[in-house]
Amino acid sequence: MPVTALHHYTLRCTSDELPPLVDFYTRVMRLEVGARPEIPAPGAWLYAQGQPIVHLYAHLSHADPALMPPTGPLDHISFRSRGLHEMRKHLTSLGVEFAEAPIPGWDIHQLFLHDPRGLKIEMTFWMNDEPKDDKEARS
């Protein structure tokens, strides 16, 4: 199969929307700002484990018109994640609202939250990757 993985996604925004988006993806999601090629508009590439997975491209002069839902036809983006218990504590300490969704019959637990533009973010935790002795992480 020629497609093997999702490489990155790009969010377009205005230059005023860029700082809160960078803050969300670095402070909340713990991605890191990294190298970005010379592109004729402000922006940022945000990395996880050396891979630029979120591109922010501030080329809009005006914010996109409001949509319903705010993400248009895109429902959500999912990040494979580790450290469920620690992430719950992190999000709570930042005052970030999130919902939990364990998957019945699967060893998967999900957290859902929203970025500053309304994009739904899913964090998918494979429970067999979580610490076996961390009872809080498994509930």
Neighbours of 5 (CB within 10 A): 5
Query: How many Å apart are CA 105 and CA 16, to the nearest integer?
Result: 44
Residue 110 backbone phi and psi in degrees, to 5: -120, 145
CA-CA-CA-CA torsion for 111, 138, 84, 82, nearest 10 degrees? -110
- Answer yes or no: do 35 and 89 share one domain: no
- Look up the CATH number of the domain holding residue 28: 3.10.180.10
Q: For residue 68, tell me if it sits in a domain.
A: no
Looking at residue 131, what is its pLDDT?
85
> Does residue 67 form part of some domain?
no
Note the pLDDT of residue 133: 63
Tens digits of residue pLDDT in 16-27: 999 999 999 999
Q: pTM to 2 decimals?
A: 0.81
Contact 130, 82 (CB under 8 A): yes
134 occurs within a structural domain: no
| Average pLDDT for the chain | 87
In our burial notation (b when 16+ CB lie closer than 10 A, e otherwise), range 80-98 reads ebebbbebeeebeeeeeeb
Domain extent at residue 110: 75-129
57 and 2 within one domain: yes
Considering the domain architecture, whether residues 95 and 58 belong to the same structural domain is answered as: no
Over residues 6-65, the pLDDT tens digits come to 889 999 889 999 999 999 999 999 999 999 988 888 999 999 999 999 999 988 788 777
Claim to verify: residue 52 and residue 91 sit in the same structural domain: no
> Total structural domains in the chain?
2
Q: What percent of the chain has pLDDT over 90?
A: 62
